[in-house]
């Protein structure tokens, strides 16, 4: 099974720190991947699933202790999940925070699916592994279980013991480590892996709630999570990839790597469809720029940063190249047009 998914490189860097990777052991940690040490340490892009799988397997081989998934899960707090984590942390209640995860989960942890159901007085979140259930799959599901429980503790404001974890795998030899980390009842060899707690917990307020941050973070999530139909052409595959990576200045070589093809093949396939990579890239950037520009109370500096530009002046130049006007003039012209529209005029009674 080789899913066509990409994963933030940040997760692998956290894993490297977790097991104490240094300059000497980094080449072994990256063995069998397309990553160089320099790119791994300095890049801010995403990596394909094959590289991610290989890194996890290398980490398991290098680590001299069982239960690496349990240990790593402790180092993936809410803040490590990008805009989705930020939106959840700033939600007013646990209910809304969980709703954020249920809605946007696929854009961060594409190797599992997350669903929910109410069973009597219990709320259950079900995690289903979408990749092979091997040592890497076991690592992923354990890390997710631990990360989910610690995130729930954070959202509810205290360590929760009145929750239960159901695991689809057999009781491991390191079960004591898992249970002492989760600090709640754990049931093994179950039909599904799920997280269960009383429905009343859904109404708990989140201490870090902030409506302005939540709204902006969810806007970022929306731009990333637009419905992407199964692409029929290669150019649609490229566009779909770019929509998964908003705020990243993805080069043609990086796009080829993430699509598991050579740069030469990417160029040839797009040429067959009479499409240029830069045109596809600009199209997605233009859509994202207009989306952000239409949002109220968002500064040009924040838009520039969210779209991966080093400074607002670079974004202004790109915007003017796309639309013929700088962002401020473009927004002013659109506002003026809306005010002049017959549909927006006040109609007085005769």
Q: What does the DSSP assignment read for 20-83?
A: T--TTTHHHHTTTSS--HHHHHH--SEEEHHHHHHHHHHHHHH--SS-HHHHHHTT--GGGGHH
What is the distance between the alpha carbons of residues 20 and 62, in angstroms, rounded to a whole number? 10
Say if residues 214 and 104 touch (Cβ distance below 8 Å). Answer: no
What is the distance between the alpha carbons of residues 138 and 310, in angstroms, rounded to a whole number? 39
Residue 293 sits in which domain range? 226-338
Residue predicted with more confidence, 268 or 331:
268
Measured on CA atoms in the order 230, 233, 237, 243, is the torsion positive or negative? negative
Confidence at residue 224, expressed as pLDDT on a 0 to 100 scale: 67
pLDDT digits (tens, 9 = 90+) for 290-326: 878 877 777 888 888 888 788 889 899 999 989 888 8
What is the distance between the alpha carbons of residues 61 and 58, in angstroms, rounded to a whole number? 5
What is the distance between the alpha carbons of residues 343 and 40, in angstroms, rounded to a whole number? 53
Domain count, the chain: 3
CATH code, domain with 298: 1.10.10.60
pLDDT higher than 70, residue 11: yes
DSSP state of 345: S
Please check whether residues 144 and 242 belong to one and the same domain.
no
**Is residue 194 situated within a structural domain?**
yes
The per-residue DSSP string of 2-20 comes to ----EEEHHHHHHHHHHTT
pLDDT band with cut points at 50, 70 and 90 for residue 68? very high
Token readout for 115 is 């669903």
Ranges of beta strands (E only) in the chain are: 6-8, 46-48, 112-119, 122-129, 164-166, 186-187, 193-198
What is the distance between the alpha carbons of residues 24 and 37, in angstroms, rounded to a whole number? 11
pLDDT digits (tens, 9 = 90+) for 215-245: 888 888 887 665 444 556 888 888 888 877 7
Please check whether residues 186 and 280 belong to one and the same domain.
no
Q: Domain ends where: 182, 210, 238? A: 210
Determine the distance from the C-alpha atom of residue 90 to the mean position of all C-alpha atoms in its chain, rounded to a whole number: 17
If one counts every other C-beta atom within 10 angstroms of the C-beta of residue 197, the result is 22
Q: Of all residues in the chain, what percent carry a pLDDT higher than 70?
A: 91
Residue predicted with more confidence, 312 or 142:
142
**Is residue 344 situated within a structural domain?**
no
Please check whether residues 287 and 203 belong to one and the same domain.
no
Confidence at residue 225, expressed as pLDDT on a 0 to 100 scale: 65
pLDDT higher than 70, residue 21: yes
pLDDT higher than 70, residue 340: no
Please check whether residues 281 and 202 belong to one and the same domain.
no
Confidence at residue 32, expressed as pLDDT on a 0 to 100 scale: 95
Confidence at residue 109, expressed as pLDDT on a 0 to 100 scale: 74
pLDDT band with cut points at 50, 70 and 90 for residue 158? confident
Confidence at residue 70, expressed as pLDDT on a 0 to 100 scale: 97
Mean pLDDT of the chain: 86
Confidence at residue 232, expressed as pLDDT on a 0 to 100 scale: 67
Say if residues 172 and 66 touch (Cβ distance below 8 Å). Answer: yes
Confidence at residue 227, expressed as pLDDT on a 0 to 100 scale: 44
Q: Please, which residues have CB within 8 angstroms of residue 61's CB and are 6 or more apart in sequence?
A: none
pLDDT higher than 60, residue 3: no
Please state the length of the chain: 350
């Amino acid at each position: 099974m080789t899913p066509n998914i990409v994963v933030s490189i940040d997760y692998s860097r956290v894993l490297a720190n977790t097991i104490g990777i240094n300059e000497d052991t980094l080449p072994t940690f990256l063995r069998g991947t397309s990553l160089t040490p320099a790119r791994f340490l300095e890049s801010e892009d995403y990596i394909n699933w094959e590289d991610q799988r290989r890194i996890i397997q290398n980490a398991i081989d290098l680590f001299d202790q069982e239960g690496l998934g349990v240990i790593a899960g402790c180092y993936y707090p809410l803040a490590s999940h990008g805009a989705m984590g930020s939106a959840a942390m700033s939600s007013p209640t646990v209910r809304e925070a969980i709703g954020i995860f249920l809605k946007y989960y696929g854009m961060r942890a594409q190797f599992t699916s997350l669903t929910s159901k109410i069973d009597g007085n219990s709320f259950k979140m079900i995690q289903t592994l979408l990749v092979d259930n091997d040592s890497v799959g076991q690592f992923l599901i354990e890390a997710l279980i631990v990360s989910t429980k610690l995130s729930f503790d954070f959202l509810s404001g205290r360590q929760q013991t009145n929750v239960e974890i159901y695991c689809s795998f057999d009781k491991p030899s390191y079960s004591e480590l898992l249970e002492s980390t989760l600090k709640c009842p754990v049931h093994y060899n179950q039909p599904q892996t799920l997280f269960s707690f009383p429905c009343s917990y859904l109404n708990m307020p989140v201490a870090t709630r902030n409506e302005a941050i939540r709204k902006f973070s969810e806007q970022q999530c929306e731009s990333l999570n637009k419905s992407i139909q199964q692409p029929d052409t290669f150019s649609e595959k490229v566009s779909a990839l770019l929509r998964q990576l908003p705020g990243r200045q993805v080069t043609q070589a990086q796009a080829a790597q993430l699509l598991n093809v050579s740069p030469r093949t990417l160029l040839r396939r797009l040429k067959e469809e009479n499409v240029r990579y830069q045109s596809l890239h600009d199209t997605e950037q233009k859509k994202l720029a207009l989306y952000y520009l239409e949002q109220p109370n968002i500064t040009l500096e924040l838009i520039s940063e969210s779209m991966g530009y080093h400074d607002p002046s670079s974004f202004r130049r790109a915007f003017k190249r796309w639309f013929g006007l700088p962002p401020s003039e473009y927004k002013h012209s659109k506002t003026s047009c809306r005010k002049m529209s017959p549909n927006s005029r006040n109609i007085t009674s005769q």
